[in-house]
Amino acid sequence: MKGLLEHVGVEPGRLHFSWISSAEATKFVDVANTVAKEVKALGPARYFIKKRAEVA
């Protein structure tokens, strides 16, 4: 999924996967921070986002 999304042009860094146990509070914080940082760095997504239908 990640492979194909990035292949069609979604920037790497927009999709993250992580296994976090309910006991891994620090890991959760780390992952959340990393995701937020990486996505912020990429800026707002414009591609593959449904807006008002482009129709006649």
Partner 1 sequence: MTERVYTKEEWIRGLEGLREDYTLFVPVKDGDFHAFMPMNGEKVPDFDFQNTRLSPKSVIYPRSERLFEYILGNADPEANILKESSKDFSPRAIVGIRPCDAQAFQIVRRNFDNPEYRDPWWVRHFESTTLVGLGCNEPCSTCFCTAVGGGPFHEDGLDALVFDLGERYLIKGLTDKGEAFLAKMNGGKPADEAVLKAAEDLTASASQKITSSPPTDPLKGKKINDLFNAPFWEEVAFGCLNCGTCTYLCPTCWCFDVQDEVLGKEGDRIRNWDSCMFPLFTLHGSGHNPRDKKVQRVRQRFMHKLKYYVDKYDNGVQCSGCGRCVRYCPVNIDIRDVCERMNNY
Partner 2 sequence: MLRYTEKIQETAKRLLQEKRVDAFIGYGKGSVPMMNQPLMVSDPDRVDRLYWDNFCGLNLCNYLTKRTDKVGIVANGCNSRNIVTHIIENQIKRDQLYIVGIPCEGMIDHRAVMRAVKQKEILDIQQNGKTFVVKGADFEETFEKEKFLQSNCAVCIHRNPVIYDELLGDLVEEQTGVSPYQDVEKVEAMDPEKKQGFFTRLISRCIRCYACRNACPLCYCPTCFVDESRPQWVGKSSDPTDTLTFHFLRAYHCAGRCTDCGACERVCPMGISMRQFTKKLNKDCQELFSWEAGLTLDQRPPLDVYRPDDYNDFIK
Count the residues in the chain: 56
Q: Does residue 40 bind partner 2 (CB under 8 A)?
A: no
Distance (Å, rounded) from C-alpha 35 to C-alpha 9? 18
Beta carbons of 9 and 48 less than 8 angstroms apart: yes
Closest to partner 1 by CB, 23 vs 49, is: 49
Distance (Å, rounded) from C-alpha 42 to C-alpha 14? 8
Closest to partner 1 by CB, 8 vs 53, is: 53
For binding to partner 2 (CB under 8 A), which residues are involved?
A: 1-12, 16-19, 31, 34, 47-51, 53-55
For binding to partner 1 (CB under 8 A), which residues are involved?
A: 50-53, 55-56
